[in-house]
């Protein structure tokens, strides 16, 4: 019955000695709850109230506003390792990880060290640097589809460049995306886009001209027949997808679906594009394409390859990438692209990820977490399903299975909102939307995971 004793010692030091002798599990939980400081958010609320008068919705990115889960957002003060602290002094086990980049942990000491060294040389050159070459070679060596790469400043930028590239290379205009897949906020992709659009219940965004989306066709995820019908009816430049969906919640593809897309795009003369902004270097060192053994023609990347700094990239076969200026006629540029800070943080992050056992640890901890959450949810009588691939996970308040956005949309989002608030009050920070994936880091421990499951068990009882 000593399972949670180490957790109590970490989060409630005053109780450490009390847990040196065996105590029944239920009594342990009651003791932890009795000594837990009230979850105060006065300062967070004050900061957010001010922010609403100076930024749209009080945030710089929509999902941060907590609209789908209710209440005011938590305002962070600092992060380190697997943890975040808000301005009220509350500590959280963090499973958002800056939406994926913090795969080695927040503010990792090794990453900070090299960043400090490079900052002495400057923060932006606006000129070539050796750091770009080093990170580019690491990406090319790791990702099966990439023979050349272009760095950008965000995942959205990478996808914008990719969209222009596939059209320039094929001399076709139509592209196929999937219901609930998000590829950034460029006009051409804001069609049934998942992520923040789904979270906020928005229609296709106002301000997007009809002409911008006229070339975008939408198919159902995991539905090959639907894709083939569109390929028969239209001259398509590319089929673009998240190879593991993280923006409709967490949805895993059938491997046969990815294999089928590879065959169909080749057959109909279209390019296959994997948007690995979220999955790249997260579910395996070579991304989803290495994990599933299916190689696309073009790949977009971001998040992890910047080690916590703003970054994006797109890459692919050399003959395709040589269409990009200045090698070719397709124009795309960016003043801060390839800046030395992002490149250096990315280099060190990839070095850490390449060490033996890194992905085995991510997989082990994530499986422990999601298995525990699902077990406790079902034991409490809730309809719940979910899963993980390496360090990426998610679940839905529905019986499932969830294979596409239409399935995800059947989830009980009101129940998720209550669960999310309860977990916050128990010191666990999760994405404030049923339609977002969660992320594990190398800084998380088994004690963190067990504390999270224990909290989930208590919160499930209140729903």
The answer to which of 4-18, 166-180, 209-223 has the lowest mean pLDDT is 4-18
What pLDDT is attached to residue 203?
46
For residues 140 and 392, what is the distance between their CA atoms, to the nearest angstrom? 23
Q: Which has the closest alpha carbon to 151: 319, 283, 341? A: 341
Q: Is residue 15 part of a domain?
A: no
The stretch 77-82 carries a mean pLDDT of 98
- 2-6, 184-188, 204-208, 334-338: range with highest mean pLDDT: 334-338
Q: Which has the closest alpha carbon to 424: 107, 94, 97? A: 94
Between the CA of residue 392 and those of 180, 407, 419, what are the distances in Å?
Answer: 17, 19, 20
Residues 269 and 318 in one domain: yes
Q: Is residue 38 part of a domain?
A: no
**152 near 334, Cβ under 8 Å?**
yes
CATH code where residue 381 lies: 3.90.1150.10
The stretch 320-338 carries a mean pLDDT of 97
Share of the chain above pLDDT 90, in %: 84
Residues 71 and 187 in one domain: no
Decide if pLDDT at 69 tops 60: yes
CATH code where residue 287 lies: 3.40.640.10
* Contacts for 404 with CB less than 8 Å, ≥ 6 apart: 178, 179, 180, 220, 221, 222, 223, 248, 251
* Contacts for 307 with CB less than 8 Å, ≥ 6 apart: 101, 104, 108, 111, 342, 344, 345, 346, 347, 348, 349
Decide if pLDDT at 57 tops 80: yes
Residues 416 and 340 in one domain: no
What pLDDT is attached to residue 17?
38
pLDDT tens for 90-130 read: 999 999 999 999 999 999 999 999 999 999 999 999 999 99
What pLDDT is attached to residue 76?
98
Q: Is residue 33 part of a domain?
A: no
Residues 197 and 336 in one domain: yes
6 or 188, which is more confident?
A: 188
Residues 303 and 379 in one domain: no
Tokens of 121: 């040389």
What pLDDT is attached to residue 204?
64
Tell me which residue has tokens 């949805």. 251
Query: What number of residues does the chain have?
Result: 463
Tokens of 15: 């109780």
Residues 197 and 226 in one domain: yes
Residues 311 and 217 in one domain: yes
**398 near 414, Cβ under 8 Å?**
no
What pLDDT is attached to residue 36?
57
The stretch 154-170 carries a mean pLDDT of 97
Residues 185 and 199 in one domain: yes
The answer to which of 28-37, 74-83, 339-348 has the lowest mean pLDDT is 28-37
Mean pLDDT of the chain: 91
For residues 210 and 198, what is the distance between their CA atoms, to the nearest angstrom? 20
What pLDDT is attached to residue 307?
95
What pLDDT is attached to residue 200?
47
Handedness of CA 317, 322, 325, 331 (dihedral sign): negative
Decide if pLDDT at 14 tops 90: no
Q: Which has the closest alpha carbon to 433: 156, 308, 246? A: 246
Q: Is residue 12 part of a domain?
A: no
The total of structural domains in the chain comes to 2
Residue after which a domain boundary falls, among 354, 369, 387: 354
Catalytic positions? 182, 275, 303
For residues 250 and 391, what is the distance between their CA atoms, to the nearest angstrom? 12
Helix residue ranges per DSSP H, 69-194? 109-119, 130-142, 155-170
| Domain interval for residue 265 | 110-354
Tell me which residue has tokens 């789904």. 198
What pLDDT is attached to residue 211?
78
The answer to which of 4-8, 25-29, 280-284 has the lowest mean pLDDT is 4-8
Q: Is residue 22 part of a domain?
A: no
């Amino acid at each position: 019955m000593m399972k949670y004793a180490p957790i109590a010692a970490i989060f409630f030091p005053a109780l450490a000695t009390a847990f040196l002798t065996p105590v029944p599990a239920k009594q342990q939980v009651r003791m932890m709850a009795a000594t837990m400081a009230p979850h105060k958010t006065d300062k967070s609320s004050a900061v957010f109230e001010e922010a609403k008068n100076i930024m749209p919705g009080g945030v710089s990115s929509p999902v941060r506003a907590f609209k789908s889960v209710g209440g005011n957002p938590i305002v962070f003060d600092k992060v380190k390792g697997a943890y975040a602290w808000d301005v009220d002094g509350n500590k959280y086990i963090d499973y958002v990880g800056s939406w994926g980049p913090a795969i080695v942990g927040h503010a990792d000491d090794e990453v900070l060290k090299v960043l400090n060294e490079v900052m002495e040389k400057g923060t932006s050159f606006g000129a070539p640097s050796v750091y770009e070459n080093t990170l580019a070679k690491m990406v090319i060596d790791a990702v099966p589809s990439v023979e050349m790469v272009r760095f950008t400043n965000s995942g959205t930028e990478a996808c914008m460049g990719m969209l222009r590239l596939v059209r320039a290379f094929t001399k076709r205009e139509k592209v196929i995306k999937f219901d609930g897949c998000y590829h950034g906020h460029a006009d051409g992709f804001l069609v049934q886009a998942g992520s923040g659009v789904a979270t906020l219940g928005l229609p296709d965004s106002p301000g997007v001209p009809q002409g911008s989306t006229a070339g975008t066709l939408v198919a159902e995820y995991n539905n090959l027949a639907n894709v083939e019908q569109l390929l028969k009816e239209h001259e398509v430049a590319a089929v673009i997808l998240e190879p593991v969906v993280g923006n409709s919640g967490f949805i895993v593809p059938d491997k046969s679906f990815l294999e089928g897309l590879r065959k169909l795009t080749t057959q109909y003369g279209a390019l296959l594009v994997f948007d690995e902004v979220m999955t790249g270097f997260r579910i395996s060192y070579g991304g989803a394409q290495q994990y599933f053994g299916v190689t696309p023609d073009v790949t977009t990347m971001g998040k992890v390859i910047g080690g916590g700094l703003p970054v994006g990239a797109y890459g692919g076969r050399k003959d395709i990438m040589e269409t990009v200026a200045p090698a070719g006629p397709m124009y795309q540029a960016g003043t801060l692209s390839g800046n030395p800070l992002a490149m250096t943080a990315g280099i060190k992050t990839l070095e850490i990820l390449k060490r033996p056992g890194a992905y085995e640890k991510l997989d082990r901890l994530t499986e422990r977490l999601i298995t525990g959450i699902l077990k406790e949810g079902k034991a409490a009588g809730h309809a719940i399903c979910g899963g993980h691939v390496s360090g990426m996970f998610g679940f839905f308040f529905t019986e499932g299975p969830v294979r596409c956005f239409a399935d995800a949309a059947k989830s009980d989002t009101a129940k998720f909102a209550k669960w999310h608030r309860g977990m916050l009050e128990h010191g666990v920070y999760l994405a404030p939307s049923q339609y977002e994936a969660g992320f594990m880091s190398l800084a998380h421990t088994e004690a963190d995971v067990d504390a999270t499951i224990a909290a989930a068990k208590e919160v499930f009882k209140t729903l």
